[in-house]
Amino acid sequence: MKKTLFLLPLLAAFVTGCPSNSLKTADSEAKPDLLYAALDTTVAPGDDFFSYANGTWIKNNPIPASESNMGIGRKVQDEVYARLRQTSEEAAKANAAAGSNQQKIGDFWAVGMDSVKADQLGAAPIQPELDRIAALKSVAEVPGVIAHEIPLGVRALIGPRVGQDDKNSDKMVLYLRQSGLGLPNRDYYFNTDTRTKNIRAEYLKHVANTFKLLGQDSTTAKANAARVMALETSLAKSSRKLEALRDPYANYHKMSIAQLDKLTPGLDWKTWFGQMGVPNADTVIVGQPEFYQTAGQLLKTKPLEDWKAYLTWQLTATFAAQLSQPFVQENFHFYGTVLRGAKEIRPRWKRVLDMQEDALGDALGQLFVKEYFKPEAKARYDTLVKNVVAAFAEHIQKVDWMSAPTKVVALDKLHKITPKVGYPNKWKDYSSLKIDRSSLAANVMRANQWQWQYQLNKLGKPVDRTEWEMTPQTYNAYYNGSNNEIVLPAAAFAVPGLLDADADDALVYGYAGASTIGHELTHGFDDEGSQYDAHGNLHEWWSKDDRKRFNQRVAGIVKQFNGYTLLDSLHINGRATAGENIADLGGIVIGLDAFKKTKQYKEGKKIKGLTPTQRYFLGYALGWQMHVRDESLASQLLTDVHSPAQYRVNGPMADVPAFYEAFGVKPGQKLYRPDSTRVVIW
């Protein structure tokens, strides 16, 4: 994926200050230039290109108290929110036909915004599920309760999902992944630094406070919190690290149901899957067998009271944001403030819109593209995709480390990548989803159930390769290895504060061509995506020598990013972030060659004293125009396969000779790397 930290809608205006800048020349135009206005020319490009490109914008756009970061996506989402809010308010007032998308949007919004009703209900919306857990008489009944909660959206203990078989992309199969933790990942349970130890202590308090909100006395709540922590720590011990989850072969273990039963003695998976609504699964792909061995053992060794505490916690944590204010605030305090550093909770209407996006994203998407993604914009980006693909093909042909036979297969894969631009040709049908004004939590539960059933219905049926996994109003993009496709939502192309027609090619090729299109194309050829063939199957299509030479280059970028230190002592995980770092570097060099074919590049005219090539690199940096609270940054370093924004700019730029030439980067400057150490892949 292109973006990190958040998935946000896009399209709005913003205002930046204009620095006193020696680059201002007679050819400067009267209208504001968004790249020029963001510059901080007190910083040398060769020392910190990220701060040079974005410094003034960052100074003029502090992080709001309700946010853990502020960036280009955060700034622009407010106007989309305003538009979606108006749409939702109008739908809530309309006498829409029962079952229509307008009725669902309106009712979801109306009950979501009714904070008085939510406070009156308290935990009542989840009380039947709490009662189900409280009624457990033996550990043997625990799997049945877990199975009941899976469709509701609770991922206690196990993590089933439906997806394409990595080795047979024409077949939809059931996967089992590690799951069931309340902290972001396994490292939070074991790291011994002061920051993480404090988070563990705060987590224990948070779980106990949540139990108190459910009516437990302080002593009982603390005891149950300790039970939760102990059980989750056992699961965490058998959970794989972030970087280990990126190896598709190591996380692919196809098993029959009988083999799965043998892996977890005492569990009857056929019955268990049946309780989840899974239709006659004969095989399953287990990502992390050791995790499920532990899960099976825990179901034999942990006492019933531990399971009651754990299931109660997992259920309540899943729906806390939809309950009364005490639950909402307690949930925010830990996950928003302790983990992410936000000082105050976001306005209710924005939180409701986020929930509505999760529940009815395609219904909102139809309205979005009709008004905000015009045919001429789609045509521009369809053409841009073709130009970047052509540039990538030239790069594959020219690389000196890949043999001619492998190049033939690589080019075949590249030309078979399906680009999906803007929005899907067909939308999800929500006719079977019931949305009413009973409670916000009830609507979220039913939406989760609908989504679970939607996924289960794919089993045993032909793969729908036309489907999108993001809505068009999402500020993000992705490469799907199983479909060999790049998916580019309409919002990913919008430039805040600038009409598409007014954006010069340099900006567009850097912002969209490099950081989005080229980035996603390169994911098909990064350390993970390169293991999938043109049809989307996990299959080695490289020669051994080519793979060896490629891996040597990957090792170079891993070493480079391992060397970046943040927050005094924390390091980027070069192995976990390798795929994204490769895609960033690939996107930049491929996008640049595509840009070199444009009229703007060939004419070489300056805008605000900036050459076309300089504007191209600044356009790329525009995509990472953000700053982040320390708490959020620390969390990202442990949980995210994307490097922090500053290093998604400075890291790859340090490897690009054209960047050195464009900005006169010299030995002794902080970004300078000798030729011999610069990473060259695509």
Burial 148-179 (b: 16+ CB within 10 A, else e): bbbbbbbbbbbbbebbbbbbbbeebbbbbbbb
Q: What is the mean pLDDT of residues 515-522?
A: 98
Pair 524, 399: CB distance under 8 Å: no
CA distance 371 to 196: 46
For the domain 34-70+374-424+468-677, what is the CATH code? 3.40.390.10
Amino acid 391 reads: A
Q: What is the DSSP string of 491-542?
A: GGG-BTTB-GGG--HHHHIIIIIIIIIIHHHHHTTSTTGGGB-TTS-B---S
Predicted confidence (pLDDT) per residue in 41-73, tens digit: 999 999 999 999 999 999 999 999 999 999 998
CA distance 123 to 243: 38
Backbone angles phi, psi at 190, to 5 degrees: -130, -25
The whole-number pLDDT of residue 31 equals 64
Q: Is the pLDDT of residue 29 over 60?
A: no
The whole-number pLDDT of residue 370 equals 79
The whole-number pLDDT of residue 5 equals 31
Predicted confidence (pLDDT) per residue in 92-117, tens digit: 999 999 999 999 999 999 999 999 99
**At which residue do the structure tokens 């089992």 appear?**
176
CA distance 334 to 83: 30
Backbone angles phi, psi at 518, to 5 degrees: -60, -40
Q: Could you state, in order of their start, the residue ranges of all structural domains in the chain?
A: 34-70+374-424+468-677, 124-322
Q: Which two tokens stand for residue 457?
A: 């219905």
Q: Which two tokens stand for residue 246?
A: 């990126």
Same fold yes or no, 34-70+374-424+468-677 and 124-322: no
Q: What percent of the chain is modeled with pLDDT above 90?
A: 88
The whole-number pLDDT of residue 11 equals 32
- Cα dihedral 673, 676, 678, 681, rounded to 10, equals 180
178, containing H or E segment: strand 168-178
Confidence class for position 30, pLDDT limits 50, 70, 90: low
The whole-number pLDDT of residue 4 equals 37
The whole-number pLDDT of residue 625 equals 96
Q: How far is CA 659 from the centre of its chain?
A: 28
Single pTM value for the model: 0.93
**At which residue do the structure tokens 């830990």 appear?**
334
User: In the CATH scheme, what architecture does the domain 124-322 have?
Assistant: Orthogonal Bundle (1.10)
CA distance 570 to 575: 15
418, containing H or E segment: strand 418-422
Pair 505, 461: CB distance under 8 Å: no
Q: Which two tokens stand for residue 174?
A: 């059931």
Predicted confidence (pLDDT) per residue in 540-597, tens digit: 999 999 999 999 999 999 999 999 999 988 999 999 999 999 999 999 999 999 999 9
Q: Is the pLDDT of residue 9 over 60?
A: no
